[in-house]
Structure 1
Amino acid sequence: MADVAAGYLPILLFLAVALALSSAFVGLPMLVSRLTGAHRPDPEKLSEYECGFPAFEDSRDQFDVRFYLVAILFIIFDLEVAFLFPWAVSLMGTGWAAWIAMMIFLTELALGLVYAWQKGALEWE
């Protein structure tokens, strides 16, 4: 029983060191910025700069679904590139089966793009 517990000691030690380092990398910069005076909020710093509209007062307000549709389409086509690049690099060693599988995958993505386009997911008013 002691041998089994001793086998887990390096894993527990690794987890403890990882937890300590991650806590230090998160907590120390926040502490140093508070102590050195870098935390000086003013209306200009607190204004919205990324999305362009004020933050919501109520969390139950309706949100436009088109933001989510654009995000989902971006993720889909970003994943396409993530799958396409390694496939293109190793194309010579994969053979015809991999080429046909990728053509089916690209056809499905193209059909999805056509469908989204027809449904108006890419139209912005």
Structure 2
Amino acid sequence: MHLRQTRDVLTDHLRRRAAGDLDGDLATNYHPDVVILHPDGESRGHDGVRALAARHGRYDGAVECHRLLASDQVGIFEWSGLGGRSGTMPMEGTESFVVRDGLIVAQTVHFSSAVEVGSPLADAV
């Protein structure tokens, strides 16, 4: 059996998330015991990925991947787009991955955001 390379896994991850296919992404790309480190702490397993996606995850048309790099078992991508409660907050982030046996076993997420466009704080700036 030919295992997928890290770049293939991450490309499929981005494609499935852009299509709104979280279930397919989990089944195809994530190890059941994945560990994710993120600004709020740590998430584990598919349930942790689901919770993180519900809280922060946006890979739909409002998010664009600018660069994807992969070497052996390690990959990283940089993205930017709009998020927040109203989908108008400019955001940018970097995610890194460890892929073993064709599955994501570890991930880190870092992102920053600005004030939401149209909010009272944005008007004050």
Task: Give the TM-score range, shorter chain.
Answer: under 0.3
TM-score normalised per structure 1: 0.19
Normalized per residue, the structure richer in helix is 1
**Structure with more relative contact order (C-alpha pairs < 8 Å, separation 6 or more):** 2
Normalized per residue, the structure richer in strand is 2
TM-score normalised per structure 2: 0.19
